[in-house]
Every structure is written in C-alpha cells, then in structure tokens.
C-alpha cells in the first residue's frame, strides 16, 4: 500500500563506510524545529517495517525525539507496520487496559499520523512485572495495537509478492530466571514453555515464506552486563530451532544497544535493536559485526533478493546497515 507522499526537497548524498546512498530530508517537527534525517533508497518492490522496543519512559530521555523521527521517516517510506519488541512499559508494566501509562508511554508519544498503522507487540520482562493479560487485551481498546496472544505469527508481503514470516515470541517464559521468580514475574511460571517451543517449530516447519524472521525480547547472543544465564537458556531452547529451520534473522531488544552479531558458522543474523528511549554502553564480542550505544530504531526492508536492515540513531542518521541474502 502506497501513501500519497508530500513534495520532497532533497539533496542526494553518496555516503561511504558501508552506509548506502541516502537523501537527507528536512521536515518541520512537532516542536516546530527543523529535523534532518536519512532516507535510504529502497527498492520499489520492497516491503518495509519499523522495529522499536524498550520504549516506555513517559516521554523522557530520547523517547520523544526517537518517536518523532519514526513518524517523519514513515512520511517518506511506505511503512507497513511497527514491530514493538517488548518493554513498551517501564518499569512495572501496566495494571489494566485503562492504566494511565498507556497514554504517557505510548498513545501521546507515538502520535504522528503516519504511525497510526498496525503495531505488533510482544511482552518484555517489564511487562511481566505487571498485568500481562492487560497488554494483550489492549488490542480491544486500540485499533493499532494488534496482539492476539502471547506469541503469534504474521506473514507480510512485499510489493513483488515475496512473503516474510514474522514470528513474535514470548521469551521471558523460556528463561529459568523469570520462571523461578514468582514474586517479581508472577505470570512467567504459569506459561507452558514446551507448548510455545512446539508452536515455534510447527510455524517454522510449515511456512512457505521465503524469509523467516523470529522476533523476541531477549537476545540469543549479545554483549551485556545482564545475567549470562538468560542467553544460555535462549541458546538451549530456541537456537536449535533457528538452526534447524534456517531462520534468516533473529531480532530482539532488552539490552538497550545496537548489536549485529553473526557467530562463526551461523546462517542466522542476530540483531539486537537498541532502546527507543535510554541506551547503554556496549563493546564487541566474538562474532560482532557492529555495535553502538546510541538510542534509535531499525528500518527493515525485504524483497525477493534480500533483507536489508538500516539502524537509525536518535539524530536520524543511519549509523549502520547490513544485507542478508541466501
């Protein structure tokens, strides 16, 4: 679906260092200041969506500028949806579908007209601090919040009819740390880990989509000060399925940094998407292709030939991009 784009005034700039040629656009921002941001030259037949996570800070830190940039980019690029990969609500989740945090963390922040499109959310560890069912039930309140269950599948199509399977999974119940802490994460131990893993395997096994993209909140690989046991459990329970069924891309949040990691011999690209509000410091590990402590979001574009990811910082600059092909 193509939007009616406003007239663009642009200067073509050829950038080096792994970043493709982009046009820099100046758009009146909500605060009436001029914002300059990069717009990549995407294939006309591509399907495009945004990835954002670790958002909910009641508009503080970089949340508002990042949200504004997401909307401004969506004015220039045909965006199909937003994948919201958990922790939309720091710090204790939400209490109900009428919790005021829905307004201060989400509705009033992501208010740009071009962000009034489908949002596909998953639960993060902070949502598990609160009422997780309320996060799912908010789908009945908001027309753009599309969360049918704790984990679900969505097949999206590019303009050239190429399909990509998006698996939105619930990672906290896969990790023993959360399952064993019934005080801080009361819902995690109630979830059937084996049932979800069986569902993931069935979706990957039966999908005819060219591209298989799995999205969760917690990383399989990442540099972080968080407990190594989290990644060990993800590698134990999820990674064998990613390997067995040739998953092209695993995308997550949780760490508040950008990281692109390809372990030796892996056919899967692992992307840690940074925080949309407050980021942290990061350093490379084995397999790291890129890492950054900038806040921001990711634009993912795909067609029959490739998946291409563009990593945006809070200033609207594409600080890194990479291509996955088969």
| pLDDT score recorded for residue 21 | 52
pLDDT in tens, the chain (326 residues): 434 333 332 323 333 344 445 667 755 444 445 568 999 999 999 999 999 999 999 999 999 999 999 999 999 999 999 999 999 999 999 999 999 999 999 999 999 999 999 999 999 999 999 999 999 999 999 999 999 999 999 999 999 999 999 999 999 999 999 999 999 999 999 999 999 999 999 999 999 999 999 999 999 999 999 999 999 999 999 999 999 999 999 999 999 999 999 999 999 999 999 999 999 999 999 999 999 999 999 999 999 999 999 999 999 999 999 999 99
| pLDDT score recorded for residue 4 | 38
Sheet holding 269-272, edge to edge: 152-157, 163-168, 211-215, 249-252, 269-272, 258-261, 288-292
CA-wise closest residue to 287 among 312, 270, 305? 270
d(C-alpha 272, C-alpha 65), whole Å: 20
| pLDDT score recorded for residue 26 | 58
């Amino acid at each position: 679906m193509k939007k009616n784009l406003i007239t663009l005034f642009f200067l073509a700039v050829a950038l080096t260092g792994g970043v493709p040629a982009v046009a820099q656009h100046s758009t009146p921002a909500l605060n009436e200041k001029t914002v300059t941001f990069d717009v990549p030259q995407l294939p006309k037949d591509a399907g495009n969506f945004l990835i954002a996570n670790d958002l909910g800070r009641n508009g503080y830190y970089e949340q508002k500028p990042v949200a504004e940039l997401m909307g401004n980019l969506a004015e220039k690029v045909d965006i199909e949806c937003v994948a919201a990969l958990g922790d939309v609500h720091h710090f204790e989740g939400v209490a109900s579908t009428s919790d005021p945090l829905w307004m201060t963390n989400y509705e009033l922040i992501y208010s740009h007209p071009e962000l009034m499109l489908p949002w596909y959310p998953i639960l993060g560890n902070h949502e598990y601090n609160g009422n997780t069912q309320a996060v799912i039930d908010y789908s009945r309140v908001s027309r753009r919040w599309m969360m049918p269950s704790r984990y679900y599948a969505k097949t999206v199509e590019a303009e050239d009819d190429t399909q990509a399977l998006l698996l939105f999974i619930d990672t906290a119940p896969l990790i023993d740390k959360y399952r064993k802490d019934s005080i801080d994460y009361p819902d995690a131990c109630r979830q059937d880990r084996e049932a979800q893993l069986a569902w993931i395997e069935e979706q990957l096994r039966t999908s005819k989509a060219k591209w298989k993209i799995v999205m969760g909140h917690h990383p399989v690989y990442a540099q972080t000060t968080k407990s190594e046991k989290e990644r060990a459990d993800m590698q134990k329970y999820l990674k064998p399925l990613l390997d067995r069924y040739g998953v092209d891309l695993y995308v997550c949040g949780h760490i508040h940094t950008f990281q692109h990691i390809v372990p030796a011999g892996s056919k899967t690209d692992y992307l840690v998407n940074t925080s949309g509000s407050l980021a942290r410091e990061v350093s490379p590990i084995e397999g790291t292709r890129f890492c950054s402590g900038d806040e921001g979001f990711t634009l993912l574009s795909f067609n029959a030939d490739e998946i291409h990811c563009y990593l945006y910082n809070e200033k609207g600059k594409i600080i890194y991009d990479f291509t996955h092909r088969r």
